[in-house]
Amino acid sequence: MERRIFGLENEYGVTCTLRGQRRLSPDEVARYLFRRVVSWGRSSNVFLENGARLYLDVGSHPEYATPECDSISDLVAHDKAGERILEHLLLSAEQRLREEGIRGVIYLFKNNTDSAGNSYGCHENYLTSRRDDFGHYAEVLIPFFVTRQIYAGAGKVLQTARGAMFCISQRAEHIWEGVSSATTRSRPIINTRDEPHADAERFRRLHVIVGDSNMSEYASFLKVGATSILLRMLEDPAAVLRDMTLENPIRAIREISHDTTCRRRVRLANGREASAL
């Protein structure tokens, strides 16, 4: 792939509180946030001047999808622009609350899980060739995505029967399959929904939903950049890749997330063991 197209989609969490008490429901917060958008776009689902898409997703989550980019630097810049755009909407919404005499502070969260245990996503998109063997891609990419969290995970505090523990990845606890067409109920590492948004006879869109939302531009660059490098290796017929197929990817992604030393060894399908490092 000489010119790869990239895209990122981030769903944001929202709340409005006063002294620790919730003042508005997520639906109400979303309506205040998007009132300015609806006033000029006549919809809560709009394309912006920079080519990005901004809309309300299921569960009253504001979602910002970057424009299609052929440079990872541009992609990260547009992802950061999404944060600034939503910040402006937040300030406008809080001003409207004050005008209406409603006391409270609106919070936007660029994360992937809330206190009730719900999860919402950061989706990565990569243009690939339709000619390539998708099954082989999945075999190689799944171990990579399972272990990539050690440098691309956003971190979270997980409540367990033994008490609170810090985890590397926010999404790891919510992944249940290696490959499938689902995105919400039985979330996979790689989503197989075939929507290339390009010439369907030539191209495929690799849709990755296992990653965390990143505040750090460096983490975002590394997350997408490392994936792009591996895709180039997969596209090179001369590249020889070791078989790192995992015995149980879903168990492995959780075991690695729970180990902040990054030394936890997980079992491969061939009986060997290896750490994420």
Q: Which residues of 193-208 are buried (b: 16+ CB within 10 A; e: fewer)?
A: eeebeeeeeebbbbbb
Q: Active site residue: 27, 57, 74, 133, which one? A: 57
CA 195 to chain centroid, in Å, comes to 18
Give the position of tokens 């299609």.
Answer: 68
CA 186 to chain centroid, in Å, comes to 16
Strand residues in 53-98 grouped as ranges (E): 53-57, 61-65
Dihedral through CA 226, CA 229, CA 235, CA 240, nearest 10?
Answer: -90
Q: How many CB atoms lie within 10 A of CB 95?
A: 12
Q: Is 57 a catalytic residue?
A: yes
**Residues 37, 25: Cα–Cα separation, whole Å:** 19
Strand residues in 42-191 grouped as ranges (E): 45-47, 53-57, 61-65, 105-109, 122-129, 156-160, 163-167, 177-180, 188-191
Which residues are catalytic, by number?
57
